[in-house]
Amino acid sequence: MEFVIWNLITSMSSISPHNLYTTQEAQDFLRVSKSTLKRYLKKGIIKAYKVGGRYKIWGKELLQLVSPEVEEKGKSFYQRTKKKIKGRIQNW
């Protein structure tokens, strides 16, 4: 477990927010499959730009995806949605 965390921290420090990365580099950094990365791109979770016929992703996009703020936003969204649905079910 510590090894996985160390690898993630090490790879995060090698990603510069101002550099462009290929989809393969993004897959390696995020540790996701090709299809998962495509899904992220289609849903707009990650923005990519076509450069010379190939997609490039800003390092800033990758770092935002794995940042604690994003995780916190997701958690708060889940809690709000859960509370809202619970209220509707009780009123039903």
- Enclosing H/E stretch for 31: none
| Contact of 57 with 23, CB cutoff 8 Å | yes
**Could you tell me which residues come within 8 angstroms of residue 15 by beta carbon, excluding any fewer than 6 positions away?**
21, 29, 59, 62, 63
Q: How many domains does the chain have?
A: 1
| Contact of 30 with 24, CB cutoff 8 Å | no
> Count of alpha carbons within 13 Å of 73, Cβ hemisphere only?
7
Q: What is the mean pLDDT of the chain?
A: 82
pTM score, whole prediction:
0.59
15-69 residue pLDDT tens: 888 899 999 999 998 899 999 999 999 988 899 999 899 999 999 888 888 877 7
**Containing structural domain, residue 83:** 2-91
